[in-house]
Amino acid sequence: VEQITMVAASNSSVVTQLSRDNFSKRGEWELLHIDVQNLNLSFSGILYSQVKYTIRLKRIPIVYVVNLICPAGFLIILDFAGMFISVTGGERLGFKVTIVLGFLVLLLILNDQLPNTDVSPILDVLFSEDSCEYFQLMEHLKLTDSVRFLQSRPVDDWRKPTQVFIHSTVANIIQLEGTTQSLTSLLWLDMTWKNSFISWDPNEFCGMETITIPLDLLWLPDLYIYEIMDDDVSPVVNVLEVKHDGSVKQSKPIRLVSACKLDIFGFPFDTQKCTITFGPYVHTVEQIIMVAASNSSVVTQLSRDNFSKRGEWELLHIDVQNLNLSFSGILYSQVKYTIRLKRIPIVYVVNLICPAGFLIILDFAGMFISVTGGERLGFKITVVLGFLVLLLILNDQLPNTDVSPILGVFCGLCFALMIISIIGTIGVLYMVEMSSMSSEVPSWMKKWVLKYMAKALLVKTSHTADTGADENIIGFSNSSVPSTSIRMKKALEKTSRKDSNEAILLKKLLLEILMIRRHLANARLKEESQNDWHMVAYVLDRFICIFYFFSIVISMGVLIIVWAIPHT
């Protein structure tokens, strides 16, 4: 601020009126007001003059009203109107599940259309006059000597290494891309070193202790960032600050795209570590030594004070280390910044975890729908289709790593359980269908399902293994009814001439009674077979329901425990 003072040329009212007169009214924003302020920024104890423009904008909501609010209102009205559909008809459940799937699609559209609302300030650059000229000092230093100042390292003894002090703060985390595992960040970098060829007495130049000169007049360290992945698109600041004792300082913002290995096991309640390593690319440790100008606590505090809190990441801590890299037996000096970030999970909780939990509860509740009604299978398939949509969203959000997140494992397990429950429902429906046929339940199924499994599940069954006590109605068993009828018929034909009419009538009556008994016995056997099949289907259905419940509870417990344990 002692060298350049930024001053607003016009006040807020004038700037607002001029902007409104020339404002192009298109898009979704309307200009309301522009506030102009003259400020001073304090960074590392040094003041920098600024002119800050605060722009107030009002969104034109017609697109969102037509594409989001109105369809959402219509779906809510349709869902409420579905309450008046008859419950016995079986149409209400399918109608409401269809409405829920439509609302889920609307949530996906809403997630894609959420805008970024941060506004960057507009700066206006003015200039001020100084009492003494810089040109005399530059002539005294002979900065036009390119051979002396540009083509060699500025030391009076080549055996003496140049110490380069690195100070960097994290101003913003623009994006942490999962698919490419890259970190896009905005850094403020200060690099300071000593130039042995530059010095002057401030008293001889009006007390001038510092001077700013163009970047291409002095030698610069070959600074390289080892994790860089993309071209440097940082804003260009082509000036250097030189002090009277020969200290040269380069300050610039860096928009960096760097590699960052992600650990997404605890996604979306995860913390990530990304490293940014500064060091020379050509000069060895005998020529340039990189030194951290500030320790971890100072860098963390300064970064938090200037950190722009937006997006899904929160800055936890920055660890600073001085290291030496050995490459082919040659040492290179480095300064390594380890940035710890914590994900803000609210978006994933609303868009993934809560809908997944609701669908799991719906699928479990579907186990209590009657199998014979025919609605359970269609309901469960509809829920599975909705869960597939969530899996597709989760697949787009997750990075490509060799470790699967616990949330993905949980969703995969829930999907597998849904498929198992559908297969179980199909099996139960098949057993119900078998009850209408004349086939009996196999003996092994009676033993393992109706005896052991039913007892373990505390299900009371009406199955009895021995029904011979009720078969002897008139002295014959069911198996002897056909042979007895044949013998009685032959006896009737053989003795028809000797017996009286009363005896013949009694014999015919006995034969008819035996035939009626045979019919009743067969009907009873068929009814018992149907009951056995229904009981087998009921026991297996309860087993699948209990297995489903405990599997979900155990997996959700493991998921919560994993999320509760902090991952470093």
Q: Write out pLDDT tens, residues 236-261.
A: 888 899 998 989 999 999 999 999 98
DSSP β-ladder status, 162-177 and 288-292:
parallel
Would you say residue 279 has pLDDT above 50?
yes
Which H or E run contains 241? strand 239-243
Tell me the average pLDDT across 99-111: 74
Cα three-residue angle 36-41-43, rounded to 5 degrees: 165
* Selected residue with higher pLDDT from 52 and 562: 52
What confidence category does residue 475 fall into, taking pLDDT thresholds of 50, 70 and 90?
very low
* Selected residue with higher pLDDT from 94 and 353: 353
Give residue 121's pLDDT: 32
Give residue 406's pLDDT: 82
Give residue 481's pLDDT: 47
pTM of the model: 0.63
Q: Which among 32-41, 253-262, 424-433, 445-454 has the top mean pLDDT?
A: 253-262
Task: For residue 124, give the DSSP letter.
Answer: -
* Selected residue with higher pLDDT from 396 and 110: 396
* 366, 82 contact by CB (below 8 A): no
Would you say residue 116 has pLDDT above 70?
no
Question: How many other CB atoms are there within 10 angstroms of residue 431's CB atom?
Answer: 21
Tell me the average pLDDT across 354-380: 84
Q: Which among 98-102, 122-126, 321-325, 550-554 has the top mean pLDDT?
A: 321-325
Paired with 177 in beta bridges are 182
Would you say residue 480 has pLDDT above 60?
no
Tell me the average pLDDT across 94-108: 76
Tell me the average pLDDT across 181-204: 89
Report pLDDT digits (tens) over 291-330. Answer: 999 999 999 999 998 887 777 888 999 999 999 999 888 9
Average pLDDT, the chain: 79
Question: How many other CB atoms are there within 10 angstroms of residue 21's CB atom?
Answer: 7
Tell me the average pLDDT across 446-454: 74
Give residue 93's pLDDT: 73
What confidence category does residue 339 fall into, taking pLDDT thresholds of 50, 70 and 90?
very high
Would you say residue 455 has pLDDT above 50?
yes
Q: Average the pLDDT over each of 120-129, 409-418, 445-454, 554-563 and give the range with the smallest value.
A: 120-129
Report pLDDT digits (tens) over 527-560. Answer: 676 777 777 778 888 888 888 888 888 888 888 8
Long-range contacts of range 424-429, CB-CB < 8 Å, 24 or more positions apart? 424/540, 424/541, 424/544, 425/371, 425/376, 425/377, 425/380, 425/541, 425/544, 426/377, 427/540, 428/371, 428/537, 428/540, 428/541, 429/371, 429/377
* Selected residue with higher pLDDT from 456 and 386: 386
Task: For residue 441, give the DSSP letter.
Answer: P
By percentage, how much of the chain surpasses pLDDT 70? Answer: 82
Closest CA to 450 of 558, 356, 534: 534
Q: Which residues contact 428 (CB under 8 A, 6 or more apart)?
A: 371, 537, 540, 541
Give residue 114's pLDDT: 56
By percentage, how much of the chain surpasses pLDDT 90? Answer: 17
What confidence category does residue 470 fall into, taking pLDDT thresholds of 50, 70 and 90?
very low
What confidence category does residue 129 fall into, taking pLDDT thresholds of 50, 70 and 90?
very low
Give residue 515's pLDDT: 82
Give residue 493's pLDDT: 55
Would you say residue 468 has pLDDT above 70?
no
Report pLDDT digits (tens) over 487-538. Answer: 555 655 555 555 667 777 777 777 778 788 877 877 676 667 677 777 777 8
Give residue 491's pLDDT: 59
Would you say residue 33 has pLDDT above 80?
yes
Cα three-residue angle 398-388-406, rounded to 5 degrees: 40
In this structure, what token pair is assigned to residue 382? 């509809």
Tell me the average pLDDT across 217-221: 88
Give residue 566's pLDDT: 65
Q: Average the pLDDT over each of 99-108, 110-119, 313-322, 548-557 and give the range with the smallest value.
A: 110-119
Give residue 559's pLDDT: 82
* Selected residue with higher pLDDT from 541 and 372: 541
Q: Which residues contact 137 (CB under 8 A, 6 or more apart)?
A: 200, 205, 208, 211
